[in-house]
Amino acid sequence: MFHVGGARSALYNWAVARQSGGKFVLRIEDTDAARNKPEWIDGIISALASIGISEADPAFEGPFFQSHNADRHREAALRLHREGRAYYCDCTREQLQERTGSQQLGYDGFCRERGLEQAEGRALRFRTPDEGATTVVDLIRGEPSFPNSAIEDFVVARGDGSPVFLLANVVDDIDEGITEVIRGEEHLSNTPKQQLLWEALGATPPVWAHLPVIVNEKRQKLSKRRDKVALEDYLSEGYLPGAMVNYLMLLGWGPGDDVEIRPYEELERMFRVEDVNTSPAFFDVKKLTAFNGEYIRAMPPEEFAEACRPWLREPYATWRPEAYDESVFAKLAPLAQTRLSVLGEITRYVDWAFLDEAPEDEASWAKAMKPGAGAILKDTRERCVTADWDADSLKAVLEEVAAAHGLKLGKAQAPVRVAVTGRTVGLPLFESLEILGRERVLARLDAASAKLGE
């Protein structure tokens, strides 16, 4: 699963790398074997490619694997100890709680001056400076400062000698020449610790940029437990990659004008990370859907028809495979393109054309088949038997039926639409009748009349 927040961070990093002629570095942090599988790595690379971040681009470097750099991580941990920047500690959680009388306080520095040597079960802790503060240069948040007295002596290597992620991450960044780190604000609290490690290892810390958290409509941080957050899920429903990229780029940043629909190349040129807001960014699915509709309507007709094809096959299609007619869909596609917001909606817009009978939708039936609907269906059928079979002629038929029953056209055509297509909302009715053909239209009008008992 590739979180939409991760996708936004990747796009911002990608834009900055390409603007500056730099490199976008993909590192797979795979030191936890239980949480890393080859197919998941392939999924990350595939998700990045879907939003235009491609291995084929000269700006792309990687993937690098954190596990391949384990020796360097251990070497850095030993160096910190050798240079007096870290010390070994054998305190247990229970001992710490007994000394401090609290479960909330950080480490109390008990082992700082004990001079313990490396041994199984002894963690290595970084010796945080007692005085002063650690100031972080953040392109979005200015220069937040963290008192060193509030930063505990944190663990950099476990009791078995394996470095923790915090140290591994810094060592990898140094080795890979990272100069800018653009990431979510949830990482801001770790930044002073990382910066202290950069400095302790004799390297110049990168410039940081911590992006605003993304929230749902209840202003809660997006969570995979309650929200749809996977980029792949949106794409599988028929959100276009271009629309997703456009929308994600504007989550927390804007180009400063009222134009929102823009190709990525233009957004990339305009993007400035220092202009990103600090306030939470609302992931508005309705707005994303509206963006997607704009992108769908802008597609060349042939490209739109091709993009719909995955939803015209199983498991999405509700009709028998042999009932699908390519020539019929070619006529329906231009009508559908102006109405779809998501490609996955195509099935319910066209299924009636490939089913033996009209789809059943109880809500649509109840709404359209009011008293008098049977008479409208009967009158329409009689006139359709001899009418010329084109959209304009069929519209004239329904106008005559409406006038005969003292109704507006919209009221008269509602029961006909439901009888033929199964739903109250769909493609233009008269073009739909023309495409379905006289014989099948008459049969569906008869079936609806029979269902009404008339």
Catalytic machinery residues: 224
Tallying the residues shown for the chain, one arrives at 454
Encoded tokens for 47: 């998700």
**Listed residue (356, 333, 355, 359) closest to 346, CA to CA:** 333
Encoded tokens for 96: 């710490």
- Cα–Cα distance for residue pair 101/112, rounded to 1 Å: 20
- Cα–Cα distance for residue pair 73/161, rounded to 1 Å: 10
Would the annotation count 37 as a binding residue?
Answer: no
Q: Name every residue whose Cβ is closer than 8 Å to that of residue 365 and which is 6 or more positions away in sequence.
A: 418
DSSP structural state of residue 180? E
* Residue the block writes with tokens 């042939």: 302
Would the annotation count 89 as a binding residue?
Answer: yes
DSSP structural state of residue 75? H
Encoded tokens for 163: 């470095």
DSSP string, 252-289: S---SSS-----HHHHHHH--GGG--SSPEE--HHHHH
Would the annotation count 308 as a binding residue?
Answer: no
- Cα–Cα distance for residue pair 321/327, rounded to 1 Å: 14
10 Å Cβ neighbour count for 404? 13
Would the annotation count 384 as a binding residue?
Answer: no
- Cα–Cα distance for residue pair 66/72, rounded to 1 Å: 10
* Residue the block writes with tokens 């030993």: 78
- Cα–Cα distance for residue pair 297/315, rounded to 1 Å: 25
- Cα–Cα distance for residue pair 180/398, rounded to 1 Å: 66
What is the amino acid identity at position 271?
F
DSSP string, 296-362: HHHS-HHHHHHHHGGGGSTTT--S-GGG--HHHHHHHHHHHHTT-SSGGGHHHHHGGGTSSSPPP-H
Would the annotation count 411 as a binding residue?
Answer: no
Residue 242 CA to its chain's centroid (Å): 12
Instruction: Mark the binding-site residues for Zn(2+), compressed into ranges.
Output: 89, 91, 111, 113
Instruction: Mark the binding-site residues, compressed into ranges.
Output: 89, 91, 111, 113, 224
Instruction: Mark the binding-site residues for ATP, compressed into ranges.
Output: 224
